[in-house]
Amino acid sequence: MNIRLYHARILTMEKDRPVFWGEIWIRNEKIVLVAREEELEEFRKQPEGLFGRQGEVPVSWDLELDCRGNLLLPGFKDAHTHSGMTFLRSHADDLPLRQWLEERVFPMEARLTGEDIYHFVKLAVLEYLTSGITAVFDMYLTPDTVAQACLDMGMRCVLTSGLNRFVSGIEQVEEEYRKWNRKNLSLITYQLGFHAEYTCSRELLRQMAELAHKYRAPVYTHMAETRQETEECKKRHGMTPAVFLDSLGLFEYGGGGFHCVHMTAQDMEVFRKRRLFVVTNPASNMKLASGIAPIMEYERKKIPVAIGTDGAASNNCLDMFREMFLVTGLSKLKEQDAAGLDALRVLQMATVNGAKAMRLNRSDVLARGKLADIIMIDLNQPNMRPFHNIPKNLVYSGSKSNVCMTMVNGRILYRNGEYFVGESPEAIYRQCEAIVKRVFSA
- Is the per-residue pLDDT at 206 higher than 60? yes
- Is the per-residue pLDDT at 256 higher than 70? yes
Q: Give 18-54 pLDDT, tens digit per residue.
A: 999 999 999 999 999 999 999 987 776 665 544 444 4
User: How many Cα atoms occupy the beta-carbon half-sphere of 290 within 13 Å?
Assistant: 30
- 117, 242, 251, 305 from 256: Cα distances, Å: 25, 10, 8, 10
Omega prior to 184 cis, within 30 of 0? no
* Residue-range domains of the chain with CATH: 2-74+364-419 (2.30.40.10), 76-357 (3.20.20.140)
d(CA 428, CA 435): 11
Percent of the chain with pLDDT over 70: 96
The residues facing 31 across adjacent strands are 26
Give SS3 for 7: strand
Closest CA to 418 of 406, 432, 431, 410: 406
- 55, 123, 218, 366 from 84: Cα distances, Å: 42, 8, 24, 30
d(CA 336, CA 104): 36
Number of other residues whose CB lies within 10 A of the CB of residue 250: 27
H helix and E strand count, the chain: 18, 17
Q: Give 349-388 pLDDT, tens digit per residue.
A: 999 999 999 999 999 999 999 999 999 999 999 999 999 9
**Cβ–Cβ under 8 Å, residues 353 and 277:** yes
Mean pLDDT value of segment 62-77: 98
Q: pLDDT tier at 168 (50, 70, 90 boundaries)? A: confident
AA identity, residue 435: I
Position 352 scores a pLDDT of: 98
Mean pLDDT value of segment 109-123: 97
**Cβ–Cβ under 8 Å, residues 47 and 53:** no
Position 117 scores a pLDDT of: 98
Residues 6+ apart with CB under 8 A from 1: 26, 28, 62, 63, 410, 411
Q: What is the mean pLDDT of the chain?
A: 95
Mean pLDDT value of segment 10-21: 97
CA torsion, points 311, 314, 318, 321, in degrees to nearest 10?
Answer: -130
Residues 6+ apart with CB under 8 A from 317: 127, 283, 309
The answer to which of 43-52, 129-138, 252-261 has the lowest mean pLDDT is: 43-52
- 95, 178, 190, 310 from 184: Cα distances, Å: 42, 11, 11, 27
- Is the per-residue pLDDT at 92 higher than 70? yes
Position 59 scores a pLDDT of: 66
d(CA 156, CA 179): 17
Position 115 scores a pLDDT of: 98
The answer to which of 89-93, 114-118, 159-163, 192-196 has the lowest mean pLDDT is: 89-93
Number of other residues whose CB lies within 10 A of the CB of residue 135: 28
User: How many Cα atoms occupy the beta-carbon half-sphere of 259 within 13 Å?
Assistant: 28
Position 53 scores a pLDDT of: 47
- Is the per-residue pLDDT at 393 higher than 80? yes
The residues facing 405 across adjacent strands are 376, 415
d(CA 419, CA 433): 20
DSSP state of 154: T
Closest CA to 105 of 113, 115, 95, 119: 95
Mean pLDDT value of segment 402-430: 98
Mean pLDDT value of segment 146-174: 96
Q: Give 335-358 pLDDT, tens digit per residue.
A: 999 998 999 999 999 999 999 999
End-to-end CA distance of the chain: 47
